[in-house]
Amino acid sequence: MSKAYSLNQIVARLGGQIVDSAGHTSELDYLTRVSSLKNAKSGALSFFNDTKYTKQLKNTQASVVILHPQYQHLTSLPKVVTDNPYAYFAKVSSFLSPKATYAKGIHSSAVIHASAVIPQSCSIAAQVLIAENVVLGECVVIEAGCVIEQNVKIANNTRCEPNVTIKHGTTIGHDCTIYAGAVIATEGFGYAEDGELGDKRWVKIPQVGHVVIGNHVDIGANTTIDRGALDDTIIEDGVKLDNLIQIAHNCHIGAHTIIAGCVGIAGSAKIGQHCKIGGAAMILGHLNIADHVTISPGSLISRSIVKSGTYTALMPFQAHEDWLKTAANVRQLSSLADKIKHLDKTFELRLAALEKLESK
Amino acid sequence: MSKAYSLNQIVARLGGQIVDSAGHTSELDYLTRVSSLKNAKSGALSFFNDTKYTKQLKNTQASVVILHPQYQHLTSLPKVVTDNPYAYFAKVSSFLSPKATYAKGIHSSAVIHASAVIPQSCSIAAQVLIAENVVLGECVVIEAGCVIEQNVKIANNTRCEPNVTIKHGTTIGHDCTIYAGAVIATEGFGYAEDGELGDKRWVKIPQVGHVVIGNHVDIGANTTIDRGALDDTIIEDGVKLDNLIQIAHNCHIGAHTIIAGCVGIAGSAKIGQHCKIGGAAMILGHLNIADHVTISPGSLISRSIVKSGTYTALMPFQAHEDWLKTAANVRQLSSLADKIKHLDKTFELRLAALEKLESK
Amino acid sequence: MSKAYSLNQIVARLGGQIVDSAGHTSELDYLTRVSSLKNAKSGALSFFNDTKYTKQLKNTQASVVILHPQYQHLTSLPKVVTDNPYAYFAKVSSFLSPKATYAKGIHSSAVIHASAVIPQSCSIAAQVLIAENVVLGECVVIEAGCVIEQNVKIANNTRCEPNVTIKHGTTIGHDCTIYAGAVIATEGFGYAEDGELGDKRWVKIPQVGHVVIGNHVDIGANTTIDRGALDDTIIEDGVKLDNLIQIAHNCHIGAHTIIAGCVGIAGSAKIGQHCKIGGAAMILGHLNIADHVTISPGSLISRSIVKSGTYTALMPFQAHEDWLKTAANVRQLSSLADKIKHLDKTFELRLAALEKLESK
């Protein structure tokens, strides 16, 4: 069960301005959770940030609404007014949500190498393997079925969800979450083509670099991050990676960059700080992306970007029959362009002749 | 080994009309399996549905061919004629294929919380973890290496393949299959940006919703489904998800919708019933997709779709040298369009002048 | 620790021509590793293959540089000159990198069916399940948390990384690596639509084919390969698959084809030998792709390709405001094309009239 707090306690802790609370005293003394506008009941704080949801705001049963000053006239409910309601909501949700707890100690079915350093504050679940020379910080949580290979270092308060694989030599900072099924530091995809024409083979290039992950990094479910070929793959502080992302060998992801699901980042790409990369985007290898760049979802980036801003590469979608015509024209685009050029040029010549005639 | 059935037994059970069986009596008494036209041997039923394979039909060694009335003249082999030969084939294959069997009971290496409810008809394999308050229905199969967290409910006859992770509070209906490596109900990707300019940080929004999965749902290998932020992520009855799909938090997938591999569905998207979404398509967040919509493979959908039909967004592929020209013209498209508009306008003016001259 | 070798020992083994070694004798007797130009220290061999890195070449601390004859004038450092420096580098790296070693034998926590054939040279790690009738070759390595189902055959020197799932009946050749979290031979995505209009259901088609994988194949982390519906899914010798790839049922991937991360290959596609498929590309079902075809990253291939060469389908990316104009024009492309056609035709008619006037 969640604990209850009064609105005064919440605002004392998180800031913001209480408005329209008069006459709601008893209700505002017993707030237990956050809810969506639509499903909120008494005792819940909710959140409004988009006029699309004005109707839900009118009908909500929430006890308190968190919103921006510009929207405060839209409801007479008790409210917390703040400049960044979304961040406020994140914090109040975090404050009210009961923290998950993990049994301290090492489950009897886990297999732990004698050389591993595991403080008593850690929680090591069933069916885990921890190999030689692994060093864990305080309060690290390793959930069921994880495999932590030799020489991995994981700092305080980091948590690995079930069935995560962290391969040898990886370093992970504090306060990270590695979600279920993620694979860190598997070998990069590096092959050289060898052999005579007609008998070509791929020769594997040993991948002897490591993966180095900063603090406050989240890595999504079933996401994969490859170890470096020679130097390291680096994920800086505060990076947030969603599910099913592929980060290839020797990538360098700058601090506080956020990457949505299904993205691929090819080898040796260097992404700046505070970038936002939309779902299913793809960034080719060896590119440099500046700080504060936003890449739209589904966009393939094929050259370096030196200037902050938003970049997009998308075919607009259409009803299929319309698209068929568009596609045919796209294929013909260079002959269309030639025809325009020709028309333009011929037209200019004829115009001159025409003007001569008119002037007669 | 498969059991053998006669064609009469099969048709008595599944319907369809037997044609041209005369003179094949003994062979048709001993049918054991389904095969492709190409690799069929005596005792096999095969299936024809596309004139592309007419030559394979001519040469097949199958004992029986299942096909539509319109194609029955294409072969003199014994046949079952039916209006939906593909569905018929699915059913006869299901009827003939030996059912996989799973040892009842709990493997000694599984770790089961004392509070979990596990009927004797269930099969719990090696290295499984089942946490507190899990409730399984009859004949549930949990294969090796699965992690089923606290308060998960799984109904009758549902099967989890190896190394699946189902996080706390998930509800799964009956007769579902969760394929290997899938991750259900990991935290959604929700962060609010906080802090002063120059010192921005991402604040995690606790994800306190659940995942609710209906009956007869299949979820492909290494597919990920996130739990809701506040409300639940919902997958309705009969939904079929292929491998490596990402379903973000608070999505709602309507009944009997089928989604091919590598698709991403962003947060809070609502997909209708009976939709068909092609491989590697991408649907942006907060969109509504109507019932009976088909999305072509690889197409990114950036706005809601209110009308059933097929929608596409694709660059047509070309030989690379041709594409280079196309790409250059695509970049120039707005200046090409301006030039056409200018030509069009100037041309009209000049035409008027020209007509005046001609009329002299 | 790496062992040390002299440059003469390396060249005696791997070929190539030593240049400019005079005066570096003692240093060249003690080579221990490969490094990037940038981070190399004394005792390292490095590698130069792109004039983009000329400055790094000038500043490198490497003891030896491997390069092509055309670049040998760019440095006075001791060097190995060879026609394929990248492949040479791969080989010297492989020669110098210490081989990973795996404890022979079966970990006590592994669960092994009595009928499985496991030579003493194999290494079976913790928390592994090996089911009935599995047959392993010599020196096979099965890392922690893997599930190897019944009737799987794996030949000599193949290694499965942690948490891999290999389902029943799969055959894998020798000298393969299956990276962490990969799932081999889960059921293909095959459903037939059945039922009356308004009550349509998906009927699962049993997937009774297998997966057959050749020798020297690598399969990336969290990649999924589906078993065949009736016949088998086939991956030929020397194929290299990166992470998070989906190979659907009944695909056939030709020998020595290399496929980068996040690619999807739909059912029954047949890819030739020595193809190169870029990251996040998508190949539709039932297509044939010829040998020696290169598919650019992110390109969707919607028809068969009968001729070797490079093929591309990409929207070029643009600053978002420019893209908005492009997208609007793409949607208008067929009306633009109509307007050009109209202009062209009208213009020709009017030109004739104009010429008549001029000739007066």
Give the closest-approach CA distance of B235 to chain A in angstroms: 18
Give the closest-approach CA distance of C107 to chain A in angstroms: 10
- The answer to whether residue A359 scores a pLDDT higher than 80 is no
Q: Whole-angstrom Cα distance, residue B127 to residue B145?
A: 5
Give the closest-approach CA distance of A126 to chain B in angstroms: 7
Q: Identify which of A349, B338, A336, A337 has the alpha carbon closest to the alpha carbon of residue C351.
A: A349
3-state SS, residue C344? helix
Q: Over the stretch B224-236, which tens digit does the pLDDT of each residue have? A: 999 999 999 999 9
3-state SS, residue B213? strand
Distances (CA, A) of A202 to C243, C257, C352: 17, 9, 64
- In angstroms, how far is the first alpha carbon of chain A from the final one? 95
Distances (CA, A) of B322 to A333, C283, C306, C310, C314: 10, 20, 17, 10, 12
- Residue C20, CA atoms < 13 Å, CB-side half-sphere: 16
Phi/psi of residue C13, nearest 5 degrees: -85, -40
Q: Whole-angstrom Cα distance, residue C57 to residue A245?
A: 33
Instruction: Name the C residues in 21-50 with CB < 8 Å from any B CB.
Output: none
Q: Whole-angstrom Cα distance, residue C123 to residue C140?
A: 6
DSSP letters for C232-259: -EEE-TT-EE-TT-EE-TT-EE-TT-EE
3-state SS, residue A136? strand
Among this protein's residues, is B249 annotated catalytic? yes
Per CATH, the number for C105-311 is 2.160.10.10
- Residue C244, CA atoms < 13 Å, CB-side half-sphere: 38
Contacts of residues A231-239 at CB distance under 8 Å and 24 or more positions apart, as own/partner, are A231/C36, A231/C38, A231/C39, A233/A185, A233/A188, A233/A209, A235/A211, A236/A273, A237/A173, A238/A214, A238/B201, A238/B202, A239/A214
Beta strand B79-81 pairing with B17-19: antiparallel
Averaged pLDDT score across all residues of chain B: 94
pTM over 0.90: yes
Give the closest-approach CA distance of A32 to chain C in angstroms: 40
Residue C45 DSSP one-character state: E
- For residue B70, the tally of other CB atoms under 10 A from its CB is 9
Q: Over the stretch C221-245, which tens digit does the pLDDT of each residue have? A: 999 999 999 999 999 999 999 999 9
- The answer to whether residue B353 scores a pLDDT higher than 90 is no
Q: Whole-angstrom Cα distance, residue C71 to residue C75?
A: 8
Q: Over the stretch B63-113, which tens digit does the pLDDT of each residue have? A: 999 999 999 999 999 999 999 999 999 999 999 987 888 999 999 999 999
When CB atoms are compared, the residue of B181, B191, B204 closest to A181 is B181
Which residue's structure tokens are 């294969």?
A: B143
- The answer to whether residue A183 scores a pLDDT higher than 60 is yes
When CB atoms are compared, the residue of B261, B274, B324 closest to C189 is B261
Instruction: Name the B residues in 197-226 with CB < 8 Å from any A CB.
Output: 200-206, 208, 222, 224, 226
Burial class (CB in 10 A: 0-12, 13-18, 19+), A313: buried
Q: Where residue A117 falls among pLDDT bands split at 50, 70, 90?
A: very high
Within this chain, domains C7-96 and C105-311 share the same CATH topology: no
A340 contacts in B (CB within 8 Å)?
336, 339-340, 343
CA C124-C126-C130 angle, to 5 degrees, is 55
C350 contacts in B (CB within 8 Å)?
351, 354
Contact C333 A346 (CB under 8 A): no
pLDDT for C158 equals 98
- The answer to whether residue C1 scores a pLDDT higher than 70 is no
C328 contacts in B (CB within 8 Å)?
334
> Would you say B319 and C309 are in contact if contact means Cβ atoms under 8 Å apart?
yes
Q: Whole-angstrom Cα distance, residue A7 to residue A4?
A: 10
- The answer to whether residue B348 scores a pLDDT higher than 80 is no
- The answer to whether residue A113 scores a pLDDT higher than 80 is yes
> Would you say B51 and B12 are in contact if contact means Cβ atoms under 8 Å apart?
no
Q: What is the ipTM of this complex?
A: 0.94
Residue A117 DSSP one-character state: B
Domain range annotation of chain C: 7-96, 105-311, 320-359
Give the closest-approach CA distance of A22 to chain B in angstroms: 28
To the nearest 5 percent, what fractions of chain C are helix, strand and coil?
A: 20, 25, 50
Phi/psi of residue C103, nearest 5 degrees: -60, 125
Return the C-alpha torsion angle C12, C13, C16, C17, nearest 10: -20
- The answer to whether residue B21 scores a pLDDT higher than 90 is no
Q: Whole-angstrom Cα distance, residue C323 to residue C333?
A: 15
Q: Over the stretch B177-225, which tens digit does the pLDDT of each residue have? A: 999 999 999 999 999 999 988 889 999 999 999 999 999 999 999 999 9
Query: What letters, b where the CB count within 10 A reaches 16 and e where it falls short, cover B27-48?
Result: bbeebbbbbbbebbeebbbbbb
- Residue B89, CA atoms < 13 Å, CB-side half-sphere: 28
Q: Whole-angstrom Cα distance, residue C134 to residue C113?
A: 8
pLDDT for C360 equals 64
Size of interface B-C (CB pairs under 8 A): 237
Q: Of these residues, B174, B249, B252, B256, which one is catalytic?
A: B249
Whether residue C262 lies within 8 A of chain B, CB to CB, comes out as: yes
Classify the phi-psi angles of C316: left when phi > 0, otherwise alpha if psi is within -120 to 50, otherwise beta.
beta
CATH topology of domain B7-96: 3.40.1390
In terms of pLDDT, which residue wins out, C238 or B28?
C238
pLDDT for A197 equals 81
Give me the mean pLDDT over the A136-165 stretch.
98
When CB atoms are compared, the residue of B89, B97, B331 closest to C192 is B89
Give me the mean pLDDT over the A206-212 stretch.
96
> Would you say A210 and A188 are in contact if contact means Cβ atoms under 8 Å apart?
no
Q: Of these residues, A249, A252, A320, A342, which one is catalytic?
A: A249
Element (H, E) at A235: strand A233-235
Q: Taking CA atoms, what residue in A is nearest to C125? A: A129
pLDDT for B354 equals 67
- The answer to whether residue C2 scores a pLDDT higher than 70 is no
Residue A195 DSSP one-character state: S
> How big is chain B, counted in residues?
360
C354 contacts in A (CB within 8 Å)?
350, 353-354, 357
Query: Would you please indicate which residues of C are annotated as catalytic (active-site) residues?
Result: 249
> Would you say C344 and A339 are in contact if contact means Cβ atoms under 8 Å apart?
yes
Which residue's structure tokens are 């194949």?
A: C217
- The answer to whether residue A1 scores a pLDDT higher than 60 is no
- The answer to whether residue B356 scores a pLDDT higher than 90 is no
Contact C334 A325 (CB under 8 A): yes
Both tokens of B339, joined, read 């030039």
Q: Over the stretch C163-209, which tens digit does the pLDDT of each residue have? A: 999 999 999 999 999 999 999 999 999 999 999 888 899 999 999 99
- Residue B282, CA atoms < 13 Å, CB-side half-sphere: 24
pLDDT for C262 equals 98
Whether residue A351 lies within 8 A of chain C, CB to CB, comes out as: no
Element (H, E) at A7: helix A7-14
